[in-house]
Amino acid sequence: MGSNDIPPPHVPHSYHTICMLLLGTGGLLYTTTYILMTRQSLRDLTYAMPVISLAFNFAWEIVFALYVAESLPEQIIFVTWMVIDIGLVYTVVKYGENEWKHAPIVGQNIGKILGPMVLWLCWALWALCTWWVDVDNPVNPKAGKIHKGVEGIDTTELGFWTAIVAQVVLSWGLLAQIVVRGNSGGASYAIWTTRFLGSVAGLIGYYAYCWWVWPEAHEYFANPFAVCLSVTWVVADLAYLFILREVKRTEIVLKSGRKIRGEVVVQSSKAR
């Protein structure tokens, strides 16, 4: 988003180059994250990304690739993520039942649950996007912002709000998942690093730069609610790193490759 913008004279000529560099870095790191997540899930016989987060991300990529993104580089990034997400979807369907022994009806139907979630989120995001980019009445129009040849429509801000909500859902979903599981199945330090740095570059770094050099068009980045959401996902990610270290110290790796909470085995042994 924003590749066709026409910044005012006070914005550096390198604006588009730096923006593409930051977005490209974030995109490359997240592509690596999805690949590492899929590989780790296959090794651990589980799934890495929480179902609601996967549904949200997949729907977001579909809607932005097919409806919002204009430039070829943007479309390539979204389509690449869509394709790679198929691996994450596969691991949910293949191994989801392993993580839902306490609720077998969910585990046995997890693919049927994921599908409608993706469809509903596609509908919701499409509805939001069509409202936002309405040619006759766009949301929060700004000079210099161009979408499909129409000035004023700001898809950069649209991308910010939808991406940061998806980020909060993902970060807190992952935190809740590792706490509930009590093991590092589907997780690794490499995954955390690429994911965190990808978010820092593609979300915080990109929008912070836009706000710094072109503040009148990107004031929303410093909005109190935006700051709240940014701090919220960063806190969750830092807490996740600490918990990942703790569960790795106590978890048990079975012969199959699956990982389980260490204290579960201890309690089972005592029961015997």
pLDDT, residue 267, reads 45
Residue 47 — left, alpha, or beta (φ > 0 → left; ψ -120 to 50 → alpha)? beta
The single-letter code of the amino acid at 152 is G
Main-chain phi, psi angles of 150, to 5 degrees: -105, 125
What's the whole-model pTM score?
A: 0.91
How do the domains of the chain map onto residue ranges?
15-264
Q: Are 143 and 81 in contact, with CB atoms under 8 Å apart?
A: no
How many other CB atoms are found less than 10 A from the CB of residue 256? 9
pLDDT tens profile 183-207: 999 999 999 999 999 999 999 999 9
For the chain, give the number of residues: 272
pLDDT, residue 73, reads 77
Q: Tell me the C-alpha distance between 175 and 191, whole Å.
A: 14
Residue with tokens 């651990």: 44
Q: Give Cβ neighbours of residue 183 (< 8 Å, ≥ 6 apart).
A: 247, 251, 252, 259, 260, 261, 262
Q: Is the pLDDT of residue 151 over 90?
A: no
DSSP string, 48-78: SS-HHHHHHHHHHHHHIIIII--SHHHHHHH
> What 3-state class would DSSP assign to 257?
coil
pLDDT tens profile 247-265: 999 999 999 989 999 865 4
Q: Residue 8 corresponds to which tokens in the numbers above?
A: 């005012």
Of the pLDDT bands very low, low, confident and very high (cuts 50, 70, 90), residue 74 is confident
> What 3-state class would DSSP assign to 254?
coil
- CA distance readout (Å), 68 to 27, 78, 114: 17, 10, 24
Q: Residue 42 corresponds to which tokens in the numbers above?
A: 């296959």
Q: Tell me the C-alpha distance between 160 and 175, whole Å.
A: 22
pLDDT tens profile 98-142: 999 889 999 899 999 999 999 999 999 999 999 999 988 989 889
Burial of residue 103 (number of CB atoms within 10 Å: 0-12, 13-18, 19+):
exposed
